[in-house]
A and B are shown apart, each in its own frame.
Chain A
Amino acid sequence: MADAITASVIQRRFFSISEEMGEAMLRTAYSQILNASRDFSIGMFDAVGRLIGQAEHIPLHVGGLPFAMKAVTDYFGDDIHDGDVILLNDPYHGGNHLPDLTCFIPVFLDGHDRPQFWTLNRAHQSDIGGSATGSYNPAATEIWQEGIRIPPLKLVDRGIMRKDLLAMIAANVRHGPDFRGDLAAMIGSARIGAGRLKELVAEYGLNIVNDSIDHILNSSEVQARAAIESWEDGDYFGEAFMDDDGHGTTDIAIRASVTVSGSELIVDLTQSDPQVKGFNNSSYANTVSSVHYALAYLVDPTIAKNAGTFRSVQVKTAPGTVVHPFEGAAVTLSTNHPSQEIAEAVMMALAPACPDRVVAGWGKRYRIAISGKNPRNNKPFIWHLFHARPGAGASCNGDGWSNIGELANGGGLKFGPIEVMETRFPLLFEKHEFRKGSAGAGKYRGGYGVSLALKLETDEPVSAVAAGEGKHHAPFGLFGGDAGLPHSYGRRPPGSSQIIDIPTKTVDLTFESGEVLVIESAGGGGYGDSAERPPHLKALDAKSGLELTSEE
């Protein structure tokens, strides 16, 4: 039997192994979405498919990894061998959306003919095929238009790379060489984890490591249950909305009925709206994942996330809904939306049960990708808007952060320096500062959104794709706090003073040379009654030149 101290030490080692896998990935990935934005996650599983450790990169990824693990073992059964590398991205086989590719390595120990561990790396590819560059295609109405689907697939078979398969996948994505580079980094990172796990077993012996895993998972379960137990029993309800699907359906509801009973939690999403034609459906794995990160935020952000953490949580969905679509529905936007709305519905429901743990509403993602010719060097360019991020919601701890973006990544993504953007792209930022009146008022106010005026310094018209949410539905306030202002996305053609609205989801935008994008991003929701706002914060608000929503 492993003692508690050995289990504690082994847990530190699991943290460190995951972190080392993550650092190796950062150092070797090609794409900036991976090595700069860290849009990837690490996981380790044991012989029976339990998540034993993960690196805290993308909160959304973590809850979904067990589904992917299960899809792999279900599919291959006993046909798994030392030296295999398995890939998967299909949302209908445990993935969340196609750009997130997962690579699995089975860890074989001497004397065992079945893998005793698995190491995983899930990473967002800069392109996975389909009809839109970057693979966010708001026109998609079925998954086949979104990119290449990879159900569990052996890329390396007992140490032999299946080159023809790799060539086939690389031929189906837009940046083949980058894809190969990133894939090599993913495999390398998973192999480092495999090596470290073998060292750990060599030091302690498999029995002690396995006993320690039981101990570690039980401990996370006990910690999470203790938090849930402190919440008042009852049936709660929360409802959050997406604006539209880009194909005529609007005000798409996610409904969460949440039952707290002792340390057990049932999250019932079955009353959510039917699945939609557009690409904002959420696969079952993505939905469960979204519930899990909401709970990770609520329970205690420091509890280790593993298979024990959410044992006491049950998620119910109904097939055919937007949170559990039938196979074939388009899903790419789901990791932002409805992931955020699922988390929000859960948080809104649980707000009365744990008022000191919830946060008010955050702003939503609004992607714009511009492509055209750069007149400074006559080369084509593609630019993705990461600026004008929305504000975060307030909590009982204080004001929300301004312009840190969306709930699913918890504020972990940077936007690039404006001076660098202006140097590299034909763009002039006329303004990029906090948006007046955007933050929801309250005892603690939401974070401010941003006012952006961006002028296109191109010679020729450029084309653009918009894939956004949150223009109609605003970040919610809590306990008397106000909602923040929703997004406003518009354009001002050259020589005009009229601002024309930019739709949330469209593939056929054209901007003229000299046209100015006029973007006002959402502010976060407020928390508590404004009358209780601490005087020193009131004094700062009054001098800031940025009124809060309630004063408008």
Chain B
Amino acid sequence: MYRIGIDIGGTFTDFAAVDQSGSVVFAKYPSTPEDPSIGLTEGLCALADELALTRDELLAQTDLILHGTTVATNALLEGKGAKVGMLTTEGFRDVIEQREGLKPDRYNVQMPAEPPLVPRHLRLPIVERRRFDGELIKALDEQSVLDALEVFREEGVEAVAICCMHSYIDPATELRVAELVEQELPGVYVSLSSKVLPEIKEFERFSSTVVNAFVGPLIAEYMQRLSTRLEGAGYGGDVLIMHSHGGLSTIEDAIELGAGLVLSGPAGGIAGGQYCAAVTGVDDFITFDMGGTSSDIALLKDATPSYTGNRLVANTCVALSSIDIHTIGSGGGSIAELLPGNILKVGPESAGSTPGPACYARGGAAATTTDANVVLGYYDEANFLGGRVDFDGQASKDAVGAIASDMDVSLTEAAQGIVRVINTQMAEGIRIVSVRAGADPRHFALLSFGGAAGLHIADIARLLDIKRVIIPRSASVLSAFGMLASDLRYEQVRSVMKSLKDLSQDDLFNLVEDMRGLVDQKLNKLESLLESRRHDLALDMRYGEQIFEIRVPADRTTLKSDDFAELLAAAFHQKHEELYTYSIPDQEVVVVNVRLSGVGVMASMPNEAALPRDASDGRYKSREICINGEWRTVSVYDIDSLRPHTHVEGPAIIESKTTTVLIGPQDEVNITPHGWLDIAINQSISAASAA
């Protein structure tokens, strides 16, 4: 039987299938943004081709499809979601537009105000109010709800977000309002703040709830179409959906919590990173995914990513737990520009994929990172990006040439300059992300994926004093691949807001047991897929005087211990010291939230099968490239023909249909048993002189 991972991206839909022996095949198929389920079902044919099967044969032999989707992300980015009506406590109608009084980019005072997902005339007050301790000081006036729903009916509202103050303590009012909505507007999608994110902090909770209402109906429709198409093709197995937190859920649960899908795709990449850690035995990875417009960076410590509850997607706050992925505005399409006074700037403006770099011959005339790489001779001009896009090398030369003549340097020097600037930016981006996490990048290996990263990754590592770079064979489809190795995950959170010393042990324990019960209910439904289950408990705590809390893992036995409060406090002080270099042991510790994740560990993917060994060393041609300012002829290797345990010494190019990797002088590549590149970076070349 097969397991299939599918990741729908903006340009391509990526597929990976693994069978019981562990052999993995990949496919890429153009995405169909108008209805992504079309590209998905058609692309399955391409995947089946790789296995010499028909699609129906492949699906008949498949028991699990794991799927990451950009439906929620795109709805937010393009502002094309459901028409949402918001019901909220009287006096607090503008919470989502107030954004806690924060405007990004301080110096840009002309930045126009960001329109909220729900305009004010659809954010309607309902009469009710609960205090911080749960006491209802103003009972719900149902007429105020009915009046608002009348407006929603006239306006043709498709989804309703119910957001009451302090509802994380007691959801009763929101539940009653939901009943009224279902009664008055049957069939409308309903999103409750006490369900989506029962956590103190109204802006985060309300905004996430509104996002959920905004994307929920689209997710429901999409999932419906997907199920129909897969059933039509004869598929009878399970479909699980990838969430921003890197775990999987059923389709039904994904529809209920659509806001949890906004980082579905990138989360798959991190899952792929975790799989790479398991395969290579390297525990501390920085993952670097270079795209066209931007690049994503994440840190895996002990093969575990960190999570954040505070993400902005398309400038909208989504506070559901997600893997902490940082995005920097540098990519293959970043545009180079010469500022007055002769300073070269690369990005954040990007040519994207339309018009794209000048060499794409789609009308782009600006010099991009990719054009600089073309000028330096790194690409196979006869088979550019595997022949998937047209190629016009002269256009790259013209674009970079314009900058060269403005700078009064040679074409090669200008191209090298662009690459030096972008490599510096990307390396410095990684450094800052590491510093924020309290980590030293020199102690990490760099895991490179995404089609564009290969030409830059060795020099980025050199700039950061990183000694080892790993490029998996599946680098260009790592998200789809990572889904194959993911587990089910359900999360619960409750706000407590009590000082540790005032916290009743029984209350805390019972709360955790309730949360366990809820996640277990979900996992029980998928019992047949599970090998084991795990409950990850964490407490968000802070010192009494602070505003921001930090997440501290805890275990259930601690909660039963007589000195549970001391143990939790000690764990908090230690974590605080780790993150902020100090702790204040005599200060009061406050528990803000209790979090529990139920992880359903699925039968693990069989280890990727080792490749056969043969005599071929993968070298198949040579190419003249510019490296460190010198033009020289280097060997070009075909990644698919490189056999395990082969060594390749730089300078060299290693390429496939989807990626090109530049190996620097004296960098040494070892091919792993699975055909991956494991590169030892030569640090003796000064980063300052490296091109």
A pairs with B? yes
Q: Report A's interface with B, CB cutoff 8 A.
A: 3-9, 11-13, 15-16, 19-20, 23-24, 27-28, 30, 32, 35-36, 56-57, 59, 181, 188, 203-204, 215-216, 218-223, 226, 296-297, 301-302, 357, 359, 386-387, 389, 392-393, 395-405, 407, 409-420, 422-423, 428-434, 444, 447, 450, 453, 540, 543-546
Q: Does B109 belong to the interface (CB within 8 Å)?
A: yes
Select A23's contact among B344, B345, B436, beta carbons within 8 Å: B436
Q: Are A9 and B420 in contact (CB under 8 A)?
A: yes
Q: Are A397 and B579 in contact (CB under 8 A)?
A: no
How does the 8 Å CB contact mask read for B403-430 relative to A, with 1 for contact and 0 for none? 0000101000100110011001100100
Chain B, Cβ-Cβ closest to A196: B431
Chain A, Cβ-Cβ closest to B422: A12
Q: Does B105 belong to the interface (CB within 8 Å)?
A: yes
Q: Report the minimal beta-carbon distance from B395 to chain A, rounded to whole angstroms.
A: 22
Pull 14 A–B residue pairs with CB atoms less than 8 Å apart, ordered by A.
Answer: A16-B428, A16-B431, A23-B432, A28-B580, A32-B547, A56-B106, A221-B341, A399-B112, A404-B102, A410-B106, A410-B107, A414-B102, A417-B202, A540-B120
| Chain A binder among B92-100, B261-269, B476-484, B595-603 | B92-100
How far is A413 from B131 in the complex, measured between Cα atoms in Å?
Answer: 26
Q: Are A544 and B428 in contact (CB under 8 A)?
A: no
In the complex, what residues of B have CB within 8 A of residue A218's CB? 341
Select A359's contact among B109, B421, B438, B547, beta carbons within 8 Å: B109
How far is A414 from B413 in the complex, measured between Cα atoms in Å?
Answer: 45
Q: Are B102 and A402 in contact (CB under 8 A)?
A: no
Q: Are A447 and B113 in contact (CB under 8 A)?
A: yes
In the complex, what residues of A have CB within 8 A of residue B105's CB? 301, 410
Take A19-B432, A359-B110, A402-B97 as given contacts and tell me if A32 and B421 are in contact as well, using a CB distance cutoff of 8 Å: no
Chain A, Cβ-Cβ closest to B438: A27
Beyond A5-B417, A411-B109, A544-B120, 18 additional pairs, beta carbon < 8 A = A5-B407, A9-B420, A12-B428, A15-B428, A16-B431, A27-B435, A35-B548, A36-B547, A216-B343, A301-B108, A401-B103, A404-B103, A407-B109, A410-B108, A417-B100, A417-B203, A422-B131, A543-B120
Take A5-B344, A414-B101 as given contacts and tell me if A540 and B119 are in contact as well, using a CB distance cutoff of 8 Å: yes
Q: Does B557 belong to the interface (CB within 8 Å)?
A: no
How does the 8 Å CB contact mask read for B113-143 relative to A, with 1 for contact and 0 for none? 1100001110000000001100000000000
Q: Does B497 belong to the interface (CB within 8 Å)?
A: yes
Q: Does B186 belong to the interface (CB within 8 Å)?
A: no
In the complex, what residues of A have CB within 8 A of residue B344's CB? 4-5, 8
How far is A36 from B91 in the complex, measured between Cα atoms in Å?
Answer: 27
Q: Which of A4, A35, A220, A416 has the most CB of B within 10 A?
A: A4
Q: Are B103 and A4 in contact (CB under 8 A)?
A: no
Q: Are A395 and B341 in contact (CB under 8 A)?
A: no
Take A28-B581, A56-B106 as given contacts and tell me if A402 and B341 are in contact as well, using a CB distance cutoff of 8 Å: no
How far is A544 from B435 in the complex, measured between Cα atoms in Å?
Answer: 44
How far is A10 from B119 in the complex, measured between Cα atoms in Å?
Answer: 45
How far is A11 from B344 in the complex, measured between Cα atoms in Å?
Answer: 10
In the complex, what residues of A have CB within 8 A of residue B436's CB? 23, 27
Q: Does B684 belong to the interface (CB within 8 Å)?
A: no
In the complex, what residues of A have CB within 8 A of residue B103's CB? 392, 401, 404, 410-412
Take A19-B432, A23-B435, A430-B91 as given contacts and tell me if A412 and B547 are in contact as well, using a CB distance cutoff of 8 Å: no
Q: Does B325 belong to the interface (CB within 8 Å)?
A: no
Q: Does B532 belong to the interface (CB within 8 Å)?
A: no
In the complex, what residues of A have CB within 8 A of residue B97's CB? 402, 434
Q: Report B's interface with A, CB cutoff 8 A.
A: 90-94, 97-98, 100-103, 105-114, 119-121, 131-132, 165-166, 200-204, 339-345, 407, 409, 413, 416-417, 420-421, 424-425, 428, 431-432, 435-436, 438, 497, 545-548, 579-582, 686-688
How far is A20 from B440 in the complex, measured between Cα atoms in Å?
Answer: 12
Chain A, Cβ-Cβ closest to B420: A9
Q: Which of A396, A402, A419, A434 has the most CB of B within 10 A?
A: A419
Q: Report the minimal beta-carbon distance from B501 to chain A, rounded to whole angstroms.
A: 12
How far is A409 from B102 in the complex, measured between Cα atoms in Å?
Answer: 10
In the complex, what residues of A have CB within 8 A of residue B545's CB? 32
How far is A359 from B342 in the complex, measured between Cα atoms in Å?
Answer: 30
In the complex, what residues of B have CB within 8 A of residue A11's CB? 343
Q: Are A32 and B341 in contact (CB under 8 A)?
A: no
In the complex, what residues of B have CB within 8 A of residue A400's CB? 113
Take A423-B200, A543-B119 as given contacts and tell me if A223 and B109 are in contact as well, using a CB distance cutoff of 8 Å: no
In the complex, what residues of A have CB within 8 A of residue B94's CB? 402, 433-434
Q: Report the minimal beta-carbon distance from A59 to chain B, rounded to whole angstroms.
A: 6
How far is A416 from B102 in the complex, measured between Cα atoms in Å?
Answer: 11
Q: Are B342 and A20 in contact (CB under 8 A)?
A: no
Q: Report the minimal beta-carbon distance from B464 to chain A, rounded to whole angstroms.
A: 11
How far is A536 from B661 in the complex, measured between Cα atoms in Å?
Answer: 50
Q: Report the minimal beta-carbon distance from A257 to chain B, rounded to whole angstroms.
A: 23
Q: Are B417 and A419 in contact (CB under 8 A)?
A: no
Q: Are B582 and A181 in contact (CB under 8 A)?
A: yes
Q: Are B121 and A429 in contact (CB under 8 A)?
A: no
Chain B, Cβ-Cβ closest to A411: B103
How far is A397 from B111 in the complex, measured between Cα atoms in Å?
Answer: 7
In the complex, what residues of B have CB within 8 A of residue A7's CB? 342-343
Q: Are B686 and A203 in contact (CB under 8 A)?
A: yes
How far is A444 from B111 in the complex, measured between Cα atoms in Å?
Answer: 12
In the complex, what residues of B have CB within 8 A of residue A221's CB? 341
Q: Report the minimal beta-carbon distance from B293 to chain A, rounded to whole angstroms.
A: 18
Take A399-B113, A422-B131 as given contacts and tell me if A9 and B424 are in contact as well, using a CB distance cutoff of 8 Å: yes
Q: Are B431 and A5 in contact (CB under 8 A)?
A: no
In the complex, what residues of B have CB within 8 A of residue A24's CB? 435
How far is A57 from B106 in the complex, measured between Cα atoms in Å?
Answer: 8
How far is A24 from B580 in the complex, measured between Cα atoms in Å?
Answer: 9
Q: Are B431 and A20 in contact (CB under 8 A)?
A: yes
How far is A216 from B343 in the complex, measured between Cα atoms in Å?
Answer: 7
How far is A394 from B203 in the complex, measured between Cα atoms in Å?
Answer: 24
Q: Are A419 and B200 in contact (CB under 8 A)?
A: yes
How far is A16 from B330 in the complex, measured between Cα atoms in Å?
Answer: 14
Select A433's contact among B92, B165, B687, beta carbons within 8 Å: B92
Chain A, Cβ-Cβ closest to B429: A16
Q: Are B102 and A413 in contact (CB under 8 A)?
A: yes
Q: Are B342 and A215 in contact (CB under 8 A)?
A: yes
Q: Report the minimal beta-carbon distance from A61 to chain B, rounded to whole angstroms.
A: 11
In the complex, what residues of B have CB within 8 A of residue A432's CB? 91-92, 98
Take A5-B409, A301-B107, A543-B119 as given contacts and tell me if A401 and B113 are in contact as well, using a CB distance cutoff of 8 Å: yes
Top 7 closest pairs, chain A to chain B, by CB: A219-B341, A398-B112, A411-B103, A222-B341, A410-B106, A5-B417, A16-B428
In the complex, what residues of A have CB within 8 A of residue B413's CB? 5
How far is A386 from B407 in the complex, measured between Cα atoms in Å?
Answer: 49
Q: Are A395 and B435 in contact (CB under 8 A)?
A: no
Q: Are A222 and B109 in contact (CB under 8 A)?
A: no
In the complex, what residues of B have CB within 8 A of residue A453's CB? 91
In the complex, what residues of B have CB within 8 A of residue A16's CB? 428, 431-432
Q: Are B407 and A301 in contact (CB under 8 A)?
A: no
In the complex, what residues of B have CB within 8 A of residue A203's CB? 686-688
In the complex, what residues of B have CB within 8 A of residue A28's CB? 580-582
Q: Report the minimal beta-carbon distance from A489 to chain B, rounded to whole angstroms.
A: 17
Take A401-B113, A410-B106 as given contacts and tell me if A419 and B132 are in contact as well, using a CB distance cutoff of 8 Å: yes
Q: Report the minimal beta-carbon distance from B101 to chain A, rounded to whole angstroms.
A: 5
Q: Are A546 and B120 in contact (CB under 8 A)?
A: yes
Q: Report the minimal beta-carbon distance from B234 to chain A, rounded to whole angstroms.
A: 48
Q: Report the minimal beta-carbon distance from A293 to chain B, rounded to whole angstroms.
A: 8
In the complex, what residues of B have CB within 8 A of residue A412's CB? 102-103, 106
Take A23-B436, A420-B200 as given contacts and tell me if A415 and B101 are in contact as well, using a CB distance cutoff of 8 Å: yes
How far is A536 from B202 in the complex, measured between Cα atoms in Å?
Answer: 29
Select B131's contact among A30, A56, A59, A428, beta carbons within 8 Å: A428
Chain B, Cβ-Cβ closest to A15: B428
How far is A30 from B584 in the complex, measured between Cα atoms in Å?
Answer: 10
Chain B, Cβ-Cβ closest to A26: B436
In the complex, what residues of B have CB within 8 A of residue A35's CB? 548, 580
Select A220's contact among B109, B110, B341, beta carbons within 8 Å: B341
